[in-house]
A and B are shown apart, each in its own frame.
Chain A
Amino acid sequence: MKKNIIFAAFAFSAILTSCEGYLDRQMETTQDEDITFSSYETAINVAYGTYSDLPQGLSQIWGSNGSAMLASASDEAEFTNQTHSVQKFNTGAWRPTDLPDNPMSNYYAAIRRAYDFIDNVGRVNHDDVKDNPSQPGVYEERLANIEQLKNEVMLLRAFYMFEMVKRFGGIPIISGKLDQDVDYSTIQRASLEDCVDEIVRWCDETASVLPPRQPDAELGRLTRGAALALKSEVLLWAASELWNNSSWASGYAHPELISLPAGDRAARWKAAADAAKAVINLIPEAGYALDEYSNLFGPTGYRSSEIIFCRRDGAGNSFEKTNLPIHFDLVTGGNCPSQNLVDLFQVKVDDDMAVDFDWSNQDMVSDPYSNRDPRLAAFIVTNNSTFKGTSIQCWTGGLDGAGVRNATPTGYYIKKYVNPDLDLLAGATSIHTWIYYRLPEIYLNYIEALNEYDPDNADIKIYYDLIRDRADMPGLPSGLDQDEVRRLIRNERAVELCFEGKRWFDLRRWMDEDALGADLRAVEITRNAADGSFTYKPYILEHRSFDPAKMWFYPIPQSEINKMPHWAQNPGW
């Protein structure tokens, strides 16, 4: 009996051994590492995967009914839905445990992808095209493209680093594809200075290799201009107040994370001006030129000669569904321009003179939108203006005004980026372009820096006027002192680049505490039934919460601090 059992057990184990193949994977259906990097196409996809984390500012902060722009967290706008997470910035409810705008994990994953590409693209098997007479030159083209993509992903790494540095200050510098078993307790936040040096170094390295412009088929990929524009922005930050001032965080143990070492500010401003000038000097080669706003922010905006670097997504209409005036079908309410912003658009007195809008001037107040900087009408939908073939009724009781659910809380709707020609009911869509760098910003970088260390430089008026001319506004008046010019340059930046995701950071860079903590204002519009005229009365819509003891930087998310307890939190958080 015993023997039988032993025999049976033996027989069974013999069967099992022979059946082990039954448990092997039957077929390759997944894309594993070898497959990915043996093919040119899929290896290239890894490089493009690095691109795909570029921020999409039209929907920067996700919400269940409509995504918000960063503009709705700054003094430019207010988001209609009061429970949207962007409001946490406005109410002061953002904190290490609740940060509505936290790109850290995406960007570090993208940086890893960049190195993954660089480390592994050498494994591509080119046998199909190498020495293949039927495909002459393809092999060489591939090698050249790979070389260029290596530079592009390194520039993307610099771009992502800067996106994080703007928010968090000094961050860990990752310079390779980390091993899976890395001892991450040794990874430290780098100083702000090291981060800036690293970003600038890679801007320089890639700028020397990348082409000044991409051929039509490759439009949208990084260029020399993008590298130089990023450098210009980084160096402008390096010269500006925030990174040169740690006094607000007195007693903070790690000032090197939030500020640069004391140095020659004038030299820093000059470096910033030079970096901007380097982009300007590229104009002949790159073909940059100012364009029509309607083209720039329209459905083919990405082709505009004005753009240095942008991204576009597939054709869509969610931006319209979120942001159009509420009476249009399928619209849910979104980013609404504030009175604070509208007030920055000057009143054009004549071809040579413009003045600020003045609420104590009854002539202006009775008809507040006439004679304004034409960009107001180009970027913002105001009451009783014609839009999409109809007159927009932002007054109380009007189809788009107070009283209608999800109507604008401010009295305005955004027009920049909106495609007015889409038939939403028919499901029509169009491409939307989100711009990172365009020529006027470089001009503004340049003259802002110049004005700080060389206020008499003639270039200030030249480049200021270039922007104003295109907008059909008078140029820089003569005889202004440095402070007045600074105010005008900053005002110009706010107006020209409104909603473009810049002001949220500019106000921090300038340490403009007044604007950051300013009450958000709206306008109450009353329609006088008798004659159809309107009365405009500004009022405070929302008290914005800004704590100057900490809110210059984002907090490092608590979830990261918990895993990296040796990291210093930013001051005040």
Chain B
Amino acid sequence: MSLKYNIALSSVLSACLLAAGAAEARGDGRPEWLQRDSLTVTQLGTVPSWSVTGAVSAAKGSKLEKSFTQNVLNTLYGEIPGLTVMQGSGEPGADSPSLNARGYNTLETTDRSVLIIVDGFESTLDNLSVQEIESVYLLKDATAAALYGMRAANGVLYVTTKRGSIKPLEINFSAQVGFNTPFKTPKFVDSYTYATLYNEALENDGLSAGGYDDAALEAYRTGSDPFLYPNVNWQDELLKKMSVLQNYNLNFSGGNGTVRYFALLNVSDNNGFFKGTDPAHETSSNSKYTRYNIRANVDVNITKKLLLNMTLAANIADQKGPAGGAYSIYNKAALTPPNAFPVHNPDNSYGGNSAFSNPVGDLLETGMGSYNSRNIQTNLRLSYDLSALVKGLSIAGAFSFNNYFIGNSNKSRTYPYFQVEMYDGEYYYNQFSELTSMEIDDSGADQWRNMSFTASLNFERTFSKKHYVWANAEFFSDEDYKMTDTDLKDWQFPYRYIGVRGRAAYSFDQRYMAEFVFSYEGSDLYMKGKRFGFFPAVSVGWIASNEGFLKDNDVLTWLKLRASCGTVGHASVIGKRYAYFQDYRYNGGYYKGYNQTIVSGMTEDEVADRNRTWEKERRFNVGVELGLWDKLDFTFDYFLHKRSDILVPPTGAIPSVLGMSFSELNLGRTTNQGFETSLSFYDRRPSGFEYYAKGNFWFARNVIDYQAEELRLYPYQVRTGHQIGQPFGLVAEGLFRDEADIESSPVHTFSEVRPGDIKYRDMNDDGQIDNQDVCAVGRGGTPEFSGSLTIGLKFRGFDFEAMFYGVGNRTMYLSGATYWSFMNQYSAPASALGRWTEDTRDTAQYPRLSTQGNSNNTQYSSFWQRDGSFLKLRYVEIGYTLPERCSSAISASAIRFFVNGTNLFRIDKVSGIANADPENMNGFPAMRTVSLGLKLKF
């Protein structure tokens, strides 16, 4: 091992070293993200990676760029072992996925968000451009996370942004233009099919009236009367085939011994894919998102001993969309029956009826909403070298101000739509709603700011060349302030944390390491005297490959073992701001007086919780890192987390007769364990052909140990002991074949059942199917395991890289009108074509149709559950870098063209069902993007 870093230099905490050290580890052409980092950035300074005994996994910005999307969080799928990212809506500007670290460790009743730290301070990540990200670290075990004490337990993402290094000015420019198409959109039937199925449903229900007669069916079939017998594909009416996504990036970096800088300008735009919206954004708006990012990270050696690190970043983003929200328009497009009414009536007014407004009218006439966000992330850090006093000693102070302000402006109005019917040869119009003037509401605002201050004392020194000592103590205060309303509400008060954190590490001869980390932290969420908590962690490590007997082994080039344990906390911010006060609140009221006057009512709020405290999690972690032939790298971590004091509502135990309501109490406990592993490979042939691969795989399984659950009548009903998020429902045993089958089965009590309805298992054998037969079915929506595989090739200017990403052990639930026919008068999905009929009774996978809501079939049951596992091609990119003689013609040092595909295809088990998307079952779909790009380097 010949890691060429300079401990003395790194002690000045200059992040510029990162870039300098990064490529040096192994002098070959392997991508940056395949190299074993020589340095790891932490809250308390940059440390040599070999000395790290905690569990940390990382992703590099250069790799994240390969996913073409506007939201950094959407580049993280599969990239960091232990970090599970779940796709949400694909709506431009509102497409943040949900994150969890090592699965969920806490109950659904409480706050489960991951703490995001950017350049050392709490911040937001979704609005940065991926081009400004250097690394994203997931701090997994107690040692890595304990510094964040009371806010660490749900996982910490530690993000660093790019900084300058000692080199001549380098200019990078890139442009990428892509085409978005919806990954999957649910499919629905046309009018003729709808009417036919509706008649069948009525017949199934034993109802004779209300169906479509032969003339109507014929009209739907031939499309002879588009007004009275319309056949509208609402999705086609509302949605374009594609939208355009663009990104342009320009950055400058460089520096010398005194000043180093990184500056960036980035523009990103997604123009949305609704049809026919008002380009002036008056009466309507497409769903679009445009963002401008700028950054200037500057490091200055003011004197030989005084170093200034300045981080300045800002972005401006405009998100626009239809007044009711893109989600709602999208849903209306999907769910409005094709024959409900025409888009336009004969008099060109909008069609509509008492049950539905016109989806096209809703999009084009009801106004728009816009969110204009301004975001600043800035921090200043001064450090002073006190080596003159004590060799290796330094002090530092830092201040950070991170904030966003989102101004919300809504224009809204209603518009008239008409149900058209014909009497005696004349159209008769029945009006619903009416045209109002545009109401403009600019009052909505959402703002957040985080102001933090830290002051630290740092010591780093190597004694006698073998004893490496590293210690820090840092005082910190943190104020987190979120305000979504104009008047000051209790819960909008700044959340304040204050404390000391520190670390002491020792290693001997780069072979034996030990480390102690702690945080002593207090929060204003708790009553005086119960505010401060102590969160310690210890870890040890052994680098066996540095032992004499392995030192120059050509096969086993790296072997490191490590173990850690400790406690972290989670100050869950849910419910009341100050749970320890007994509050009263206005609630209801009573009208009195000859002339109506109201007197407000007031009531005791939730019972004060004077013992409220933070969640605690004890963590244990062991890991191994292995390197073979300098080509193969392998890491493995096993973990065990035990969480206690989780806030759970005690309602399961509190009878109504008390007349009191209780807020959540610190009663819940969970256990979570699993592993993460990754394996990477790189080789370069003498011909210059390079190929590489990296696989990640991780698994986490949790169990609820206690949650103040109500008493259950039967053991199978007990939720405790199951996975967090375990669904409970009825066990479906297929569809009733015939009346005889119904006769011989338990009585289904939700509604009258007929052949073709779902048959359930009588769990308690009482001859009756009811809510008491509900038991654990399937799994939750969060995958237990995830994995990814990246493969790449490079040869003579050509490069190719692709990444596959998959998850498993999760269940999807098909529910609501997207999957259930004729729910609330909605449409019928294409999957209804496979419904039960007498002819298909042996094969049908979809129950008989009904117009009556059929509450038997809509009970939560295993019938509608599907395996939610999938494997997707997350991205593929093919590039070509022009030979130097071409690039130098325009004085560029490199010119690269590339084609990129993001989210191109997926293998899963639900696509066949009405084109369902296992990641995003309803609403705005996720996107598939094909793009072309150009990168210039000067």
Contacts and interface: CB of A to CB of B under 8 A. Distances in A.
B496 interface: yes
Contacts of A332: 354-355
Given A23-B522, A24-B524, A33-B582, A403 B209 contact: yes
A127 interface: no
B434 interface: yes
Nearest to B659: A112
Given A109-B661, A180-B660, A563-B654, A303 B594 contact: yes
A9 B591 contact: no
Contact of A45 (B353, B523, B601): B601
Contacts of B889: none
Contact of B655 (A112, A330, A563): A563
A311 B590 contact: yes
A330 to B, nearest CB: 6
A220 B590 contact: yes
Interface string B487-530: 01110010010111000000000000000000010111000100
A49 B210 contact: no
Given A82-B853, A219-B593, A48 B600 contact: yes
A182 B660 CA distance: 11
A558 B652 CA distance: 12
Given A45-B602, A431-B596, A25 B657 contact: no
B493 A26 contact: yes
Nearest to B492: A29
A109 B606 CA distance: 11
B256 interface: no
B711 interface: yes
Contact of B584 (A32, A111, A331): A32
A221 B710 contact: no
Interface stretch (A92-100, A259-267, A444-452): A92-100
A45 B749 CA distance: 44
A19 interface: yes
Contacts of B749: 93, 95
Given A25-B578, A44-B599, A406 B712 contact: no
A22 B479 CA distance: 10
A22 B496 contact: yes
Contacts of A23: 496, 498, 522-524, 528, 531
Interface stretch (A10-18, A198-206, A483-491): A10-18
Given A49-B601, A83-B852, A560 B589 contact: no
A406 B432 contact: no
Task: Point out which of A83, A110, A218 has the most chain B C-beta atoms below 10 A from its C-beta.
Answer: A83
A304 B652 CA distance: 45
A216 B590 contact: no
B23 to A, nearest CB: 36
A52 interface: yes
Contact of B583 (A31, A64, A216): A31
Interface centre among B489, B593, B770, B772 (most CB of A within 10 A): B593
A95 B769 CA distance: 12
Interface stretch (B135-143, B470-478, B928-936): B470-478
B578 A219 contact: no
How would you classify the secondary structure of chain B's contact residues: helix, strand, loop or mixed?
mixed
A214 to B, nearest CB: 8
Contacts of A60: none
Given A52-B590, A91-B752, A108 B657 contact: yes
A98 B855 CA distance: 13
Interface in B545-584: 577-578, 581-584
A112 B658 CA distance: 8
Nearest to A328: B430
A113 B603 contact: yes
Contacts of B824: 64-65, 83
Given A23-B498, A83-B855, A311-B590, A46 B434 contact: no
Contact of A5 (B471, B523, B751): B471
B713 interface: yes
Given A23-B498, A83-B853, A52 B658 contact: no
B795 interface: no
B657 A172 contact: yes
A32 B524 contact: no
B4 interface: no
A116 interface: yes
A33 B604 CA distance: 8
Contacts of B653: 563
A46 B603 contact: yes
Contact of A174 (B596, B607, B657): B657
Given A27-B488, A49-B589, A174-B659, 15 more contacts: A16-B498, A16-B520, A22-B498, A24-B528, A91-B751, A98-B771, A171-B657, A178-B658, A187-B655, A218-B593, A220-B593, A315-B596, A403-B210, A405-B354, A562-B710
Interface of B: 209-210, 353-355, 390, 393, 430-434, 457, 459, 471, 473, 475, 477, 488-490, 493, 496, 498-500, 520, 522-524, 528, 531-532, 577-578, 581-594, 596-604, 607, 652-661, 710-713, 749-752, 770-772, 824-825, 852-853, 855
23 contacts: A4-B390, A8-B473, A16-B500, A16-B520, A22-B477, A27-B493, A30-B583, A31-B586, A45-B586, A48-B602, A82-B853, A83-B852, A83-B855, A91-B751, A184-B655, A216-B593, A217-B593, A217-B594, A221-B592, A314-B598, A329-B430, A425-B431, A560-B656
